[in-house]
Amino acid sequence: MGNKFSKIGFILAAAGSAVGLGNIWKFPYIVGEYGGGAFVLLYLAAILFIGLSAFIAESFLGKISESNAVTAFEKMTSTRFKESTLGTIEEKSSTASPLWKYAGFMVLSGLVILSFYSVVLGWIINYIFISFSSLSTDVKVAEETFSSLISEDIFKQIFFHTLVALTVVWIVLKGIKDGIEKANLVLMPLLGVILLGLFVYAISLDSFSEAVKFMFVPDWSKIDEHALLAALGQAFFTLSVGVGTILTYSAALPKEANVVKSSILVTIIDTGIAIIAGLTIFAFLFEAGAESSGGPGLVFISLPLIFAKWGIIGQIISISFFVALAFAGITSAVSMIEPILLYFIERLDYSRKKAVLVCGSIFYVGGLIALLSMSKDYGEYLTFFGKNAFDWMDFVTSSITLPLGGILICLFLGFVVDKELIKSHFLKSSTERIFNIWYATIRYVVPTAVSILMLNKLGLF
C-alpha cells in the first residue's frame, strides 16, 4: 500500500518528527537557563511519566482508527469499537458526545507552528552559508550578524523561508511512502552520523567532564515551579504530541505493528538525542570559557563565535552542526503539515496536489507575517498586546493548543474509547500492571498536570 509506512520507516519518521529544533536548539538553552542537572532530571521525569504516556495514547488513537485526526475522533465517538473474543472488531453504537469530533481540529496547530518553524529553519540555512565564508571571532560582529538578519535583511529571510517552504512542499507532495518515509530514511541516519561525530569530538575535549557534571549533577537551587512547567512543556513539544502528527503517522502503520514498543523506542531516541546534543553543546561552550546560559542566541551567536575561534576545524564543525540542525528541522516540519493535508484529502476530497498548494500557501504567508513582525520597518504593524506575530504563534501553539491537544487525546482514550479494545492491543506487548499504570496516567495524571501547566503559562494561577 502506497500510503502505509514500513515498520522501520515509521520509527524513523516518528523519530524524525520528534527530533527537531526542540532538541538541538531549545533543550540545551533551557537546561542552561535552569542551571543544569536538576532540570535534566525533571525533564526526564516529565518525559517518562507524562510525555511517553500521551505519546502512546496518540499513537493508539491513530492505530485503532486508521484515519486522519478529525475522522479518528468522529469514528471512535459515533461507533464504539469492541474487540470480540475471535479477534474481530465489533461495532456498537456509542453515547459519547458528538462534540468530540472538533478535537480533531488540533491539526490546525501544525500550520501555525510551521509558519515560524520555517522562518527559523531559514536562519539555519543562512548559517550554513555563513559557516562556509564569514564566521567572525568578534562578539560584536557575531551579534550584529544575527540581529541584522532578523531586523533588516527581510529579503534574505524571505529567500530562505521560500527555500524551506518549497523543500517541505516537495517532500509532502509525494505522500507518506515516497515522500516522508524516503526523506527520513536518508536524513535521519545522516543526522545521527553528524551528531555522533560532533559528540565524539566533544568527548575528546577537556571540558567534556565539566559538561557531564553540569548536565547530571543536580543543583536544586534554581528549581521552582517555572522549571517544573518548562520541563513539562518541553516534554510535549519535543515528542510532537498534541498536533495529530503521531496519530496520523500511526494510522499509516502496518497492521502487525506494535504501538507501545515503537512509542518507547521513539521516546528513547528523542531523549537520547537531546542529551547528546546538550552534552556536545555545553562541552563546546565550556571549552571556550563561555557561559552555560545563552537564550535563543546560543545557537546563532555563541556557537558560531566559538567555532570561528577554532579555525578550519571549527568551520567544518559549524557546517556539520547547522546541516544537522537543518535535517532535524525539515523532518519535523513535514510532520507538522501532514495531519492537515490528510484532512483536506480525506474529508474535503482534495487531491494531494491541491491540498499541498492550499496548506503550503497558508503556512508560507504565515511565515512571511512572522518574519515581517520582527523587522525594524514593519514590526510595529504586526505587534499586538506587546508581542509580535512570531512570538504569538510560538506562544499560542506551545502554551495553549499543543497541551490542549494532548489533554483531549488522553481524556478521549481514557474515558470514551472502549477500555477492552485498548487493553487487548496494549497487552500484546506489555503486562497488565503496566497497562493499569498507563491507563490511570492518561485519565488523571496527564490532564491534571498539563492543565496546571497551561493555566500557569496563561497567568491564570
Residues interacting with ligand PFF, by CB under 6 A?
17-18, 20-23, 110, 113, 237-238, 240, 243, 245, 332, 335-336
Measured from the CB atom, the residue of 107 and 135 that comes closer to ligand PFF is 107
On whether the CB atoms of residues 264 and 13 are closer than 8 A, the answer is: no
Question: Distances from the Cα of 428 to the Cαs of 84, 86, 241, 252, 410, in angstroms?
Answer: 15, 15, 23, 19, 20
* DSSP at 383: E
Identify any residues that bridge with 81 across adjacent strands, giving them in sequence order: 91
Q: How far is the CB of 328 from ligand PFF (least distance, A)?
A: 7
Least Å distance, CB 111 to ligand PFF, is: 11
Specify the residue, 17 or 126, whose C-beta has the smaller distance to ligand PFF.
17
- Rounded to whole angstroms, the Cα distance separating 233 from 450 reads 8
**How open is the CA angle 30-364-71, to the nearest 5 degrees?**
85
Cβ distance to ligand PFF smaller for residue 22 or 122: 22
Q: Please, which residue, 21 or 326, has the CB nearer to ligand PFF?
A: 21
* Sign of the C-alpha dihedral computed for residues 396, 399, 404 and 405 taken in this order: positive
Decide: helix, strand or coil at residue 387. Answer: strand
Structural contact between residues 413 and 241, judged by C-beta atoms closer than 8 angstroms: no
At its nearest, how many Å lie between ligand PFF and the CB of residue 137? 30
- d(Cα 359, Cα 340) in Å, to the nearest integer? 8
Residue with Cβ nearer ligand PFF (235 or 283): 235
- In the chain, DSSP finds a helix count (H) and a strand count (E) of 24, 4
Of residues 13 and 198, the one with the C-beta less far from ligand PFF: 13
Taking residue 148's Cβ as centre, other Cβ atoms within 10 Å add up to 12
Locus of grid cell 507532495 = 173
Chain centre distance of CA 83: 33
In the complex with ligand PFF, the residue whose CB is nearer, 124 or 422, is: 124
Amino acid letter at 415? Answer: F
The residue (of 100 and 117) whose beta carbon lies closer to ligand PFF is 117
Dihedral sign (CA 171, 173, 178, 181) = positive
Burial group, residue 390, by CB count within 10 angstroms (0-12, 13-18, 19+): buried
Q: Which is nearer to ligand PFF, 160 or 435 (CB)?
A: 160
Smallest distance from ligand PFF to CB 271, Å: 11
C-alpha distances in angstroms, 184 versus 9, 180, 275, 359?
A: 8, 6, 21, 21
> Nearest to residue 405, comparing CAs of 170, 181, 248?
248
Q: Which is nearer to ligand PFF, 26 or 425 (CB)?
A: 26
Nearest distance from C-beta of residue 334 to ligand PFF, angstroms: 9
Secondary structure letter of residue 204 according to DSSP? T
Rounded CA separation 25/238 (Å): 11
Nearer to ligand PFF among residue 81 and residue 160 (C-beta): 160
383-384 vs 79-83, strand pairing mode:
unpaired
Between CA 173 and CA 459, with CA 371 as vertex, the angle to 5 degrees is 105
Shortest distance, position 456 Cβ to ligand PFF, whole Å: 20
Least distance to ligand PFF from the beta carbon of 263, Å?
Answer: 14
Q: How far is the CB of 234 from ligand PFF (least distance, A)?
A: 9
Q: Smallest distance from the beta carbon of 110 to ligand PFF, in angstroms?
A: 6
Q: How far is the CB of 231 from ligand PFF (least distance, A)?
A: 14
Residue with cell 507538522: 336
Closest CB to ligand PFF among 96 and 251? Answer: 251
What's the rounded Cα separation, in Å, for the pair 362 and 317? 35
CB of 258 to ligand PFF, least distance (A): 22
Instruction: From 135, 140, 60, 73, select the one nearest 100 (Cα to Cα).
Output: 73
Task: Provide, rounded to whole angstroms, the least separation between the CB of residue 336 and ligand PFF.
Answer: 5
